[in-house]
Amino acid sequence: MRLTLHTDFALRVLIQAALNDGALTRINDVAKSFGISKNHLMKVVNDLGQKGYLDTVRGRNGGIRLMRKPHDINIGRVVRDTEDELAVLGCLDQTGYCRIERVCVLRGAVRSATNAFLAVLDGYTLADLIKPHKALSNLLALDRQAGVRAV
């Protein structure tokens, strides 16, 4: 039971963009910070753009920035928006998946469990995730301090 890398990377992009507090963040810097392939990251950024999370400025001095304030970005919502498959069992998103689905107690239990998972994440906004602002910024700026910033 693993969230996709798409969701994983989306959350990390949002954290790094939020730490930059309105300034543009270069995709190369995010790729470098987290050791993620730039190609994969571009897909994530495009998706977050289409879904109203990120503005993208093209060109040499371009980059990304949040479209909304961090406290207006709910983490449960982000996961619902980025995760293709939140149905942890096939019967939760298909009919005819299993012969007993009409009366299955397990199906309801697993649906409740998934709702409980999301409800915890609904209790967090992106502003909560960047509360250790200084420590996070320091960790993500290591390359820059070492003078090997990606270009």
SS3 label, residue 134: helix
Which residues have C-beta within 8 Å of that of residue 37, sequence separation ≥ 6? 31
Provide the binding-site residues for its own copies, judged by CB under 8 A: 1-4, 8, 11-12, 15, 33-35, 75, 83, 85-90, 98-100, 102-106, 109-110, 112-114, 116-121, 123-124, 128-132, 135-136, 139-140, 142
Rank residues 65 and 80 by Cβ distance to its own copies and give the closer one: 80
Cα gap 54→126, rounded to integer Å: 13
Closest contact distance (angstroms) between CB of 3 and its own copies is: 5
- Nearest approach in angstroms of CB 30 to its own copies is 11
Take residue 135 and report the two structure tokens written for it: 């420590």
Q: Which is nearer to its own copies, 63 or 70 (CB)?
A: 70
**Rg for the chain, CA atoms, rounded:** 18
Give min distance, CB of 42 to its own copies, in A.
19
Q: How far is the CB of 131 from its own copies (least distance, A)?
A: 6
Decide the pairing of beta strands 54-57 and 63-66: antiparallel
Nearest residue to 11 (alpha-carbon basis) of 42, 44, 50, 43 = 44
Q: How far is the CB of 151 from its own copies (least distance, A)?
A: 19
Select 72 or 143, whichever has its Cβ closest to its own copies.
143
- Whichever of 118 and 150 has its CB closer to its own copies, that residue is 118
Classified as helix, coil or strand, 66 is: strand
